Amino acid sequence: MTIDEAARRGLLVTFEGPEGSGKTTLIEALERELAARGAEALVLREPGGTNIGERIRSILLDLSSRAMCPETELLLMEASRAQLVREKVRPALEAGMIVLCDRFADASVAYQGFGRGLGATVVHQFNAFATGGLEPDLSFFCLLPPEQGRARLEGRQTDRLDRESIEFHERVYEGYQALAASGPSRIAVLDATDEPEAMLAEAISHLRRLEHGLLRFI
């Protein structure tokens, strides 16, 4: 079975957005909603999601890694992604499961392509290699201006990427906007200034439009 065939059997939904955009809250709410309706989902995150990926995540987000160059950051992100796809995502899709992933390949386009200035073309090439060509069935972009996102992070424990300059986060935001404007139809933009309940309702509405058998209960 090819990855594309596996994706048609299962369902891969990814959640993207700048820091503080509420995507993690949305995933948790959607997971509960699906479970309540008899559609259990596997929740994963990037970077991480596997034993190897979590070790990579600790390096990427540790404040002591501030000397990391953009190329190293991208390669570590892709290494974690490659492991996640082969160890967790592909088997789940082949088993006909719903997979909810907190960030995926689009994040590298926004963060390393735009934020670090490596360019979208280069990042797309590395993404294709790491994922084996696997693309999400639906990608939610929770968009929130950087200043509002940073305000939401006040008082929380922050990591190396959280603490990057406002200019960096503005470039990341521009990257997500560019992807949403010119990207594939799988991208659904959610207004992250809305209340969590409103974001959940809109997300469910988009999921219903997929008319996928795994979502027949919603």
Global pTM reads 0.92
Check residue 1 and give its pLDDT. 45
CATH 2.60.40.1930 fits 3-215, yes or no: no
Nearest to 96 by CA among 216, 213, 208: 213
Q: What is the Cα–Cα distance from 67 to 65, expressed in whole angstroms?
A: 5
Nearest to 115 by CA among 189, 176, 192: 176
What are the residue ranges spanned by the domains of the chain? 3-215
Please list the pLDDT of the chain residue by residue as tens digits (218 residues): 455 555 568 999 999 999 889 999 999 999 999 999 888 899 999 999 999 999 999 999 999 999 999 999 999 999 999 999 999 999 999 999 999 999 999 999 999 999 999 999 999 999 999 999 999 999 999 999 988 988 887 777 788 988 899 999 999 999 999 999 987 899 999 999 999 999 999 999 999 998 888 887 67
